[in-house]
């Protein structure tokens, strides 16, 4: 099978990926490598060169690089200082990459195209011009941006793969879902730690308000107040994205609570080995997201390290974590809604009560068997399983199209 795996996001580059948090990048390379190892002929389309065992087809980045030289800045500098210029250049790269992939498919050089990113606008619009099957995997909640809400309902008839069943609720009911495929990780890259008497808990992720790291901080403070002789440290790893225009969320809800004794911020983790060590030696990973998480990669990374997870009942979290087996699911607690003229107004989150509930879960986390965490990771979230499921999706779509183009003898 000749597979075109297209990831047109500008971060897809060996020079950029180590500097950012971009889960689709790691996942797409992982998928391409495993498909290639299974004997499939994989063509990974990326803006710039990435390290992969698949055939790596890149775009012409010369005009982008000339812009960087003229301005004497990096890709990330251009994105922060001149976002409109960055987006315009990025879309040109994406358009060329998609055109190349669809042309190869139409020339019978590829059997299927898999667009695997959040930057699929151009690929969606022109999918009807591709003569081979095209399937899409999107990594955000479908209602996350206004442009998503405007664009995706128009193309609900295309072939869509879910990351989780929680992701389904944001799209029209008659969207053409062809499969649900959970993410998977290379088991050999994550070593489990079963012997754990850790004195710290951990949060890893983007430091943005929907990820709600401040709830993890409040829960840790409450736990330590209740256990003055056996306090735990919360280690926060992630990035708040801008050193020059520092986000209000970081300044008001996170930074003031960092005391570097029991609440410690260590910045972004840039490699798997460091993440493996941090997660493997932690008592528990906290996922206090208050938005509809479509998946949440760090959860399965934690399970791979045999570390249980405490998460709120948001989006896919209860789908990924087996409550009472690989972690504990905490229900969000809302304020009683006052009378309002707006019947659609949702009640606000009661952060104090929710943080208290997370603190109680921390107190119970030692009831979770770390061996079960790793075992269920291997069963549900390995690269091998993910790869096999995508091969089944590709094969079905190719066969369905082949059968639909055959002329029935009775019609002759």
3-class DSSP string for 218-276: HHHHHHHHHCCCCCCEEEEECCCCCCCCCCHHHHHHHHHHCCCCCEEEEECCCCHHHHH
Which residues in the chain are classed under CATH 3.40.50.2000? Answer: 2-184+382-400, 187-380
The whole-angstrom separation of Cα 394 and Cα 159 is 11
pLDDT tens column, 193-245: 998 889 999 999 989 999 999 999 999 999 999 999 999 999 999 987 655 66
The whole-angstrom separation of Cα 310 and Cα 317 is 9
The whole-angstrom separation of Cα 176 and Cα 88 is 31
The whole-angstrom separation of Cα 311 and Cα 288 is 6
Nearest to 64 by CA among 12, 7, 121: 12
- Is the pLDDT confidence value at 347 over 90? no
State the DSSP code for 185.
Answer: B
Please state the rounded mean pLDDT for residues 98-122.
93
Task: Give the pLDDT of residue 245.
Answer: 67
Is residue 51 very low, low, confident or very high in pLDDT (cuts 50, 70, 90)? Answer: very high
Task: Give the pLDDT of residue 308.
Answer: 98
Task: Give the pLDDT of residue 412.
Answer: 32
Please state the rounded mean pLDDT for residues 323-348.
82
Task: Give the pLDDT of residue 65.
Answer: 85
Task: Give the pLDDT of residue 340.
Answer: 52
pLDDT tens column, 244-291: 667 889 999 999 999 999 999 999 887 889 999 999 999 999 999 999
Geometric angle at alpha carbon 281, from 30 and 224, rounded to 5°: 125
Roughly what angle, to the nearest 10 degrees, separates helices 297-304 and 370-380? 120
**DSSP per-residue string spanning 303-365:** HHTT--EEEES-TTHHHHS-BTTTEEEE---BPPPPP-S-TTPPPPB-HHHHHHHHHHHHHHG
Task: Give the pLDDT of residue 68.
Answer: 86
Task: Give the pLDDT of residue 343.
Answer: 61
311 touches 294 (CB < 8 A):
no
- The CATH H-level superfamily of 2-184+382-400 is Glycogen Phosphorylase B; (3.40.50.2000)
Identify which has the larger pLDDT, 31 or 67.
Answer: 31
- Is the pLDDT confidence value at 163 over 60? yes
What is the average pLDDT value for the chain, to the nearest integer? 90
Task: Give the pLDDT of residue 133.
Answer: 97
Determine which of 124-128, 151-155, 197-201 has the lowest per-residue pLDDT on average. Answer: 151-155
Is residue 293 very low, low, confident or very high in pLDDT (cuts 50, 70, 90)? Answer: confident
Number of H helices, E strands in the chain: 14, 13
The whole-angstrom separation of Cα 21 and Cα 94 is 20
Please state the rounded mean pLDDT for residues 146-175.
88
Task: Give the pLDDT of residue 220.
Answer: 98
CATH class of 187-380: alpha beta
Q: What share of the chain has pLDDT > 70, as a percent?
A: 94
Residues forming beta bridges with residue 6, ordered by sequence position: 45, 115
Backbone phi and psi for residue 315, each to the nearest 5 degrees, phi listed first: 55, -125
Task: Give the pLDDT of residue 406.
Answer: 53
- 318 by Cβ neighbours in 10 Å (0-12 / 13-18 / 19+) ranks as middle
Structure tokens belonging to residue 351? 């952060």
Structure tokens belonging to residue 376? 């269920």
């Amino acid at each position: 099978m000749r597979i075109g795996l297209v990831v047109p996001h500008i971060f897809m580059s060996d020079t950029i990926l180590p500097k950012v948090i971009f889960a689709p990048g790691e996942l797409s390379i992982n998928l391409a490598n495993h498909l290639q190892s299974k004997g499939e002929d994989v063509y990974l389309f990326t803006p710039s060169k990435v390290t992969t065992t698949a055939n790596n087809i890149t775009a012409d980045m010369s005009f982008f690089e000339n812009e960087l030289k003229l301005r004497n800045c990096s890709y990330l500098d251009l994105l922060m200082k001149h976002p409109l210029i960055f987006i315009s250049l990025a879309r040109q790269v994406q358009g060329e990459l998609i055109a190349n992939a669809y042309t190869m498919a139409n020339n019978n050089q590829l059997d299927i195209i898999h667009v695997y990113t959040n930057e699929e606008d151009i690929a969606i619009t022109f999918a009807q011009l591709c003569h081979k099957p095209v399937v899409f995997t999107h990594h955000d909640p479908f209602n996350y941006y206004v442009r998503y809400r405007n664009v995706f309902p128009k193309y609900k008839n295309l072939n869509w793969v879910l990351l989780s069943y929680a992701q389904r609720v944001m799209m029209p009911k008659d969207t053409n879902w062809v499969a649900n495929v959970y993410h998977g990780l290379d088991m050999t890259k994550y070593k489990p730690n079963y012997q754990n008497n850790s004195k710290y808990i951990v949060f890893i992720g983007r430091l943005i308000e929907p990820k709600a790291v401040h709830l993890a901080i409040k829960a840790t403070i409450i736990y330590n107040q209740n256990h003055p002789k056996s306090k735990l440290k919360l280690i926060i790893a992630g990035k708040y994205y801008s050193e020059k225009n520092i986000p209000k969320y970081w300044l008001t809800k996170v930074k003031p609570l960092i005391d570097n004794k029991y609440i410690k911020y260590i910045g972004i983790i840039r490699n798997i080995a460091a993440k493996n060590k941090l997660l493997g030696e932690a008592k528990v990973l906290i996922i206090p997201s208050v938005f509809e998480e479509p998946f949440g990669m760090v959860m399965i990374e934690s399970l791979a390290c045999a570390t249980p997870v405490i998460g709120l009942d948001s989006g896919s979290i209860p789908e990924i974590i087996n409550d009472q087996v690989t972690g504990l699911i905490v229900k969000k607690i809302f304020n009683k809604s006052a009378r309002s003229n707006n019947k659609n107004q949702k009640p606000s989150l009661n952060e104090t009560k929710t943080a208290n509930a997370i603190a109680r879960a921390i107190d119970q986390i030692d009831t979770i068997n770390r061996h079960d965490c790793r075992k269920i990771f291997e069963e549900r979230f390995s690269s091998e399983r993910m790869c096999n499921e995508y091969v089944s999706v590709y094969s079905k779509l190719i066969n369905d199209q082949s059968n639909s183009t055959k002329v029935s003898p009775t019609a002759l």
